Structure 1
Amino acid sequence: MSRTRITSFLIGLLLLASGPLMAAEYKLDTEGQHAFIQFRIQHLGYSWLYGRFNDFDGSFTYDADNPDKSEVEITIDMASIDSNHAERDKHLREEDFFHVKKYPEARFVSTSFEEHDDDTATLKGDLTIKDVTRNVTIDVEHVGHGEDPWGGYRRGFQGTTTIKLKDFNIDYDLGPASTHAEVTLAIEGVRQ
Structure 2
Amino acid sequence: MLETIKRKFVPQANAHRRYLVTTGDQDSLNRVIKLECLIKRCFPDDRAGTLDAFQVPRARRVHQPFWTAPFTCLQTAIHAINALTREPDVRYAERHPGNPFKYPHVIITNGPATGFIVCLVAHLLKLCYLVPQDRLKMVYVESWARCRSLSLTGRLFLWSGVADMFCVQHEELAQRTPGAVYVGQVAARLAPPG
Superposed pair shares fold, TM > 0.5: no
The structure with the larger Rg is: 1
Structure 1 length as normaliser, TM-score? 0.26
TM-score, normalised via structure 2 length: 0.26
- Structure number with the bigger relative contact order (C-alpha 8 A, sep ≥ 6) is 1
- Structure showing the higher strand proportion among its residues: 1
